[in-house]
Chains A and B, each alone.
Chain A
Amino acid sequence: MSEQNLQVFIDAVARYFDHTSDNDLRVGTPYLLPNTDPMSMDYTGIIGISGNRKGCVYFTAPQAMLRHLILSLGESDTSERNLVDVVGEVANTISGNARRELGKEFMISVPVVISGPPTSIHLPEDLRSYVIPITWRAYSAAIVICLQQ
Chain B
Amino acid sequence: MKLDYGKYRGIIVSIALFLLLDASVLLMNFYISFQIAHDAVSINLAGRQRMLSQRTMKSLLELQRSEAGLDEQQTALEELSASAELFHTTLLAFDAGGEAPSTDGAIATLEAVSSAAALDAVAEGKVLWFPLYDKMKSLQLESSINSPIFQEKLADAIQYGHEHNLTLLMLMNQLTTDLEAVASAQATRLRIIQTVGIALALINFFIIMFHFLRQLRESDEKIETARQETQEILDTVNEGLFLIDTQQKIGVQHSKELEHILGRENIAGKAFAELMADLISEKDLSTTKSFIKLLFDPRKKQKLIGDLNPLRKVELHIPQENGGYENKHLSFTFTRVMKGKQIIHILVTVTDISEQVRLAVELEQAQARGQEQLQLLSSIVQTDPGMLTMFLNSSHKTFNEINEILKVQNKSTHQYVSKINQIYALIHKYKGEAAALELEQFVELAHEFEDKIAELKANPNLSGNDFLKLTIKLDQLMEQTEIIQQLAEKVSGLNITEYSAEPSATHSYWDGQHFHSLAQQVAERQGKQVEVICAGFNDHALSPNLKETLNTVAIQLIRNAVSHGVETPAQRKQEMKAAQAEIHISLVKRANGNFQLTIEDDGMGINLNKIRTTAVEQGVINAEEATDLNNTKTAALIFHPELSTKTEADADAGRGIGLYAIRDMIRNMGGKISVSSRRGIGSIFTVTLPEYEKSLKASA
Interface residues of A (CB under 8 A from B): 1-3, 6-7, 10, 26-32, 48, 50-51, 54, 107, 109-112, 128, 130, 132-133, 135, 140, 149
CB distance from A91 to the nearest CB of B (A): 10
Interface residues of B (CB under 8 A from A): 315, 317, 320, 322-327, 403, 406-411, 416, 419, 463-465, 467-472, 474-475, 478-479
Contact present for B325 and A48 (CB under 8 Å): yes
Identify B403's interface contact among A32, A109, A111, CB under 8 A: A32
Contact present for A3 and B474 (CB under 8 Å): no
Contact present for A29 and B317 (CB under 8 Å): no
Contact present for A27 and B464 (CB under 8 Å): yes
A132-B468 contact in complex given A27-B463, A31-B403, A50-B327, C-beta closer than 8 Å: yes
Contact present for A7 and B409 (CB under 8 Å): no
Contacts of B324 in A (CB 8 A): 48, 50, 109-110
Contact present for A6 and B410 (CB under 8 Å): no
CB distance from A132 to the nearest CB of B (A): 7
Identify A29's interface contact among B322, B327, B419, CB under 8 A: B419
Contact present for B327 and A128 (CB under 8 Å): no
Lowest 6 CB-CB distances: which A-B pairs, in order? A110-B323, A31-B406, A109-B324, A29-B467, A28-B464, A27-B465
Counting chain B CB atoms within 10 Å of each CB, the highest count among A1, A30, A109, A132 belongs to A30
The closest CB in chain B to the CB of A109 belongs to B324
Contacts of A30 in B (CB 8 A): 406, 464-465, 467-468, 471
CB distance from A16 to the nearest CB of B (A): 15
Contacts of B478 in A (CB 8 A): 32, 128
Contact present for B475 and A112 (CB under 8 Å): no
Contact present for A6 and B419 (CB under 8 Å): no
Identify B472's interface contact among A3, A28, A110, CB under 8 A: A3
Contacts of A133 in B (CB 8 A): 409, 464
Contacts of B470 in A (CB 8 A): 29
A26-B464 contact in complex given A51-B317, A109-B323, C-beta closer than 8 Å: yes
Contacts of A28 in B (CB 8 A): 409, 464
CB distance from B463 to the nearest CB of A (A): 6
CB distance from B405 to the nearest CB of A (A): 8
CB distance from B320 to the nearest CB of A (A): 8
Contacts of B317 in A (CB 8 A): 50-51, 107
Docked complex Cα distance between A139 and B208 (Å): 92
Docked complex Cα distance between A34 and B451 (Å): 26
Docked complex Cα distance between A3 and B407 (Å): 18
The closest CB in chain B to the CB of A11 belongs to B465
Docked complex Cα distance between A10 and B327 (Å): 26
Apart from the given pairs A31-B403, A132-B468, 9 other A-B contacts in the complex at a CB distance below 8 Å: A26-B411, A26-B464, A28-B409, A29-B406, A30-B468, A32-B478, A51-B325, A54-B327, A107-B317
A10-B474 contact in complex given A48-B325, A107-B317, A112-B323, C-beta closer than 8 Å: no
Docked complex Cα distance between A109 and B323 (Å): 6
The closest CB in chain B to the CB of A31 belongs to B406
Contact present for A32 and B474 (CB under 8 Å): yes
CB distance from B395 to the nearest CB of A (A): 14
Docked complex Cα distance between A130 and B464 (Å): 14
Contacts of B325 in A (CB 8 A): 48, 50-51, 107, 109
Docked complex Cα distance between A11 and B315 (Å): 29
Contact present for B322 and A32 (CB under 8 Å): no
Contact present for A29 and B474 (CB under 8 Å): no
Docked complex Cα distance between A50 and B323 (Å): 12
Contact present for B464 and A7 (CB under 8 Å): no
Contacts of B323 in A (CB 8 A): 48, 109-112
Docked complex Cα distance between A51 and B379 (Å): 35
Query: What are 28 A-B pairs at a CB distance below 8 A?
Result: A2-B472, A3-B469, A6-B468, A7-B468, A10-B468, A27-B464, A29-B406, A29-B410, A29-B419, A29-B470, A30-B471, A31-B403, A31-B406, A31-B407, A32-B406, A32-B475, A48-B323, A48-B325, A50-B325, A51-B325, A109-B320, A109-B322, A111-B323, A128-B475, A130-B471, A132-B465, A140-B409, A149-B479
Contacts of A50 in B (CB 8 A): 317, 324-327
Docked complex Cα distance between A29 and B467 (Å): 5
The closest CB in chain A to the CB of B322 belongs to A112
Contacts of A3 in B (CB 8 A): 468-469, 472
Docked complex Cα distance between A32 and B402 (Å): 10
Docked complex Cα distance between A26 and B470 (Å): 18
CB distance from B483 to the nearest CB of A (A): 11
Contacts of A54 in B (CB 8 A): 327
Contacts of A135 in B (CB 8 A): 409
CB distance from B470 to the nearest CB of A (A): 8
CB distance from B455 to the nearest CB of A (A): 12
Contact present for A32 and B327 (CB under 8 Å): no
Contacts of A132 in B (CB 8 A): 465, 468
Contacts of B409 in A (CB 8 A): 28-29, 133, 135, 140
The closest CB in chain A to the CB of B416 belongs to A29
Contacts of B467 in A (CB 8 A): 29-30
Contacts of A27 in B (CB 8 A): 463-465
Docked complex Cα distance between A130 and B324 (Å): 21
CB distance from A85 to the nearest CB of B (A): 15
CB distance from B468 to the nearest CB of A (A): 5
CB distance from B406 to the nearest CB of A (A): 4
A10-B465 contact in complex given A31-B471, A107-B327, C-beta closer than 8 Å: yes
The closest CB in chain B to the CB of A5 belongs to B472
Docked complex Cα distance between A50 and B320 (Å): 12
CB distance from A12 to the nearest CB of B (A): 13
Docked complex Cα distance between A100 and B434 (Å): 41
Docked complex Cα distance between A45 and B474 (Å): 27
Contact present for B464 and A1 (CB under 8 Å): no
Contacts of A107 in B (CB 8 A): 317, 325, 327
CB distance from A90 to the nearest CB of B (A): 16
Contacts of B315 in A (CB 8 A): 51
CB distance from B650 to the nearest CB of A (A): 25
The closest CB in chain A to the CB of B404 belongs to A31
Docked complex Cα distance between A7 and B464 (Å): 12
Docked complex Cα distance between A48 and B468 (Å): 22
Contacts of A1 in B (CB 8 A): 472, 475
Contact present for A29 and B403 (CB under 8 Å): no
Contacts of A2 in B (CB 8 A): 472
CB distance from B506 to the nearest CB of A (A): 31
Counting chain B CB atoms within 10 Å of each CB, the highest count among A32, A128, A133, A149 belongs to A32
